[in-house]
Amino acid sequence: MFNKEVYINRRNELKKEVKSGIALFLGNVDAAFNYPANQYHFRQDSHFLYFFGLQNQGFAGVIDFDNNKDYLFGNDFDLDDIIWMGVQPKVKDLAAKAGIENVAPYDNLTSFVSEALKNNRKVHFLPPYRGETVIELSRLLGIANADVKGAASEELIKGVVKLKEIKSEEEIAEIEKAVDVAYDMHTTSMKMAMAGTIEQEIAGAIEGIALALAGPVSFPIILSQNGQTLHNHYHGNTLELGRMMVTDAGCETSECYASDITRTVPVGGKFNERQATIYQIVLDANMAAIDAIKPGIKYRDIHFLAAKVIVEGLKKAGIMKGDTEAAVKAEAHTLFMPHGLGHMMGMDVHDMEGLGEDYVGYDENTKRATTFGTAYLRLAKTLKPGFVLTVEPGIYFIPDLIDQFRNEGKFTDFVNYDMLETYKDFGGIRIEDDVLVTEEGHRVLGKPIPKTIAEIEAVMAEG
Ligand code: GLY
Ligand code: MN
């Protein structure tokens, strides 16, 4: 955990954003895997962790905006717990590490919250994403389960987003640690991507690297020679020459900060001409987008810049045609990249997505599009120094989407459908890096992970 001043400062900053009432942060409890005593790996709630720093089950934190006080509610281990799990620090000692003086058993939270409600004080909380939290909030607040999410506090959401979207030095260092472990995960994946290998062997090996060097993967590994499926979690294929393998994977550090990196490599280690052509277009889009990152620019504009690079490249490859600007305006590129260029990152790999993407990725001057593809843009708003985000352009040849658009007569001015038919067996390519917005521009985080054709072929030759 960071030193206690970090957490004291974060809570004090939040007190400037929320006018009155109390904020209730329920930490996570253990979640059962297949029976109560057999549980998933424990993962603390990211918001509780941000403000209270502790990775213990069954704690709750309260920030009292009216009286400038912070509270921790939690139970000390009893003898039974100690027999199974060893001696554990007392809650009051844990609280001290987060700079909290007011500590009480968890049960006291019930009367604390009902007292606040009785006094007509606003009880702010964030939208819950786990059933256990919904039930607990429902019990504490006396509202139906179904109404809990809708009763979350917009004022608190906005305050939390304002603080958490700007990463501090210690947070950036954590994310860089996570990217450095992703370096090992991805170079191992590259070296193993040989014909005859089963995808699961590679996915398992790199998940092991995450666990050995840092912590769990930051999201289930996406790894497949069927990279045209954007989030492909099926790892049962045997790799074949002529295919490209997408690996989209990252890990969490001990403080739960994430990395999220994608690389795509030719099975066997050598790009054929067609693969090299399409790969270079995606790489050009990735690098042009990174180059354009600086404070004051809207990420949506960078998304469309990447789209233009993709259209230009696909025109040279004979797959698209017509005027590039007009093609992007018509959103013809969404046939090839039906997703946004990137998202915010932090403790959650899609940072704070549970609070509502529109709060995190959009602002008063940037409203979400409703059109296919562009509507999936998770981050569109004006960039500020301290943002950490992903840059992840891709080109995917999705047979069902190609058929649908062709049958609907869509984008016939911009797409050479006959040529495109010959790419239906290609798969997909995505290249993703994690980037910090700095005062001057940007910095790609972590040890550079091979991504040029020459770099990838060189690493794969070592395999
Ligand atoms: N890395 C998966 C995603 O960004 O959705
Ligand atoms: Mn991503």
SS3 readout for the chain: CCCHHHHHHHHHHHHHHCCCCEEEEECCCCCEEEECCEECCCCCCHHHHHHHCCCCCCCEEEEECCCCEEEEECCCCCHHHHHHHCCCCCHHHHHHHCCCCEEECCCHHHHHHHHHHHCCCCEECCCCCCHHHHHHHHHHHCCCHHHHHHHCCHHHHHHHHHHHCCCCHHHHHHHHHHHHHHHHHHHHHHHHCCCCCEHHHHHHHHHHHHHHHCCCECCCCEEECCCCCCCCCCCCCECCCCCEEEEEECEECCCCCECCEEEEEECCCCCCHHHHHHHHHHHHHHHHHHHHCCCCCEHHHHHHHHHHHHHHHHHHCCCECCCHHHHHHCCHHHHCCCCCCCCECCCCCCCCHHHCHHHHHCECCECCCCCCCHHHCCCCCECCCCCEEEECCEEECCHHHHHHHHHCCCCCCCECHHHHHCCCCCCEEECEEEEEECCCCEEECCCCCCCCHHHHHHHHHHC
Q: Which residues surround ligand 2, an ion (CB under 5 A)?
A: 260, 390
* Ligand nearest to the backbone CA of 353: 1
150-154 average pLDDT score: 98
Tell me the CA–centroid distance for residue 150 and ligand 1, in Å. 26
pLDDT at 147: 98
pLDDT at 307 exceeding the cut of 90: yes
pLDDT at 374: 85
Query: What proportion of the chain, given as a percentage, has pLDDT over 70?
Result: 100
Burial status of residue 87 (CB atoms within 10 A of its CB: 0-12, 13-18, 19 or more): exposed
26-35 pLDDT, tens digit each: 999 999 999 9
Under 8 Å between Cβ of 364 and 380: no
pLDDT at 285: 98
62: nearest Cα among 54, 51, 53? 51
Atom from ligand 1 closest to the CA of residue 262:
1
Atom from ligand 1 closest to the CA of residue 390:
4
Q: Determine the Cα–Cα distance for residues 329 and 261; give it in Å rounded to an integer.
A: 29
Tell me the CA–centroid distance for residue 178 and ligand 1, in Å. 15
Mutate which of 339, 432, 434, 435 for ligand 1 pocket (most atoms within 8 A of beta carbon): 432
Tell me the CA–centroid distance for residue 67 and ligand 1, in Å. 41
* Ligand nearest to the backbone CA of 432: 2
Q: Determine the Cα–Cα distance for residues 381 and 361; give it in Å rounded to an integer.
A: 6
Choose between 160 and 376: higher pLDDT: 160
Domains by residue range for the chain, with CATH: 4-164 (3.40.350.10), 169-462 (3.90.230.10)
pLDDT at 372 exceeding the cut of 90: no
434-450 pLDDT, tens digit each: 999 999 999 999 999 99
pLDDT at 24 exceeding the cut of 90: yes
**Mean pLDDT over all residues of the chain?**
97
pLDDT at 373: 80
Tell me the CA–centroid distance for residue 299 and ligand 2, in Å. 15
Mutate which of 186, 218, 219, 247 for ligand 1 pocket (most atoms within 8 A of beta carbon): 219
Tell me the CA–centroid distance for residue 430 and ligand 1, in Å. 11
Q: Determine the Cα–Cα distance for residues 169 and 350; give it in Å rounded to an integer.
A: 20
Query: Who contacts 452 (Cβ-Cβ below 8 Å, separation ≥6)?
Result: 283
* Ligand nearest to the backbone CA of 218: 1
Stated pTM of the model = 0.96
Task: Tell me the CA distances in angstroms from 31 to 50, 192, 215, one per residue in order.
Answer: 21, 34, 18
pLDDT band at 376 (very low <50, low <70, confident <90, very high): confident
76-124 pLDDT, tens digit each: 999 998 998 899 999 999 999 999 999 999 999 999 999 999 999 999 9
Ligand 1 pocket, CB under 6 A: 219, 248, 260, 343
Q: In what order do the strands lie in the sheet with 244-249?
A: 222-224, 244-249, 261-266
